[in-house]
Amino acid sequence: MRRPAFGLAALVMALAAASAAPAQVTAVPDQGALSQGTVQMPFVTLDEARLFSGSRYGQALLAELETEQKALATENREIEAELARREKDLTERRPSLSAEDFRALANAFNTEVEDHRNAQKSKERAIYQRHDEARLRFRDVANQVLAQVMQERGALAIIAEEAIVLGFREIDITDAAIARMDDLVGDGSSLPRPESGPPAQPASP
């Protein structure tokens, strides 16, 4: 299915097509007619951020991100606590060790700390990469839903809500898109999940 066009480029193309057609005088619809859903508009507006945060699918993705972030934060605290305990133990052992032995142990400990830090940063990057990929999948699904809403309303293009200086509230399709998303997609649990390798094992200090 062809994705609906967004933004200024779509607006310019639509206006160019309109200017090429024979000129017609069209009455401006009154707000009452719009509220009854009897008038089709060539352009509609959308709040993409609200579509994501307001739909069950988007909320499920946000909840998944928050869960992964909390799990990683808990793991970080546990690792930090264990490393702090081991550092204290090494410090207490220092008087009984030769300078060479202590230096070797300290260097090995510092290397291990750096390895843990890099491993946890990699996990954090992986979380945000998965979330970015999930946002792209959300957009693919949303575009299919938006195409349906556009066709039903006879719209030529969707314009970002923030780009509108003045307009009827009824041309905004965000609420309708959220309702349609919830009806067709729900929380997204029935959608195919991308294939991925086994989850990374927590680092053990």
How does pLDDT run across 81-118, given as a tens digit for each residue? Answer: 999 999 999 999 999 999 999 999 999 999 999 999 99
Mean pLDDT of 156-160: 84
Instruction: Report the 10 Å Cβ neighbour count for 114.
Output: 10
**Locus of tokens 């509609």:** 44
- pLDDT of the residue at 176: 92
pLDDT at 194 over 80: no
Contacts of 173 (CB under 8 A, 6+ apart): 44, 45, 46, 146, 149, 150, 153, 155, 158
Identify the pLDDT of residue 186: 92
Give the percent of the chain with pLDDT over 90.
56
Of residues 13, 2, 1, the one with CA closest to residue 157 = 13
Strand partners, 45: 159, 172
* Distance of alpha carbon 91 from alpha carbon 67, whole angstroms: 36
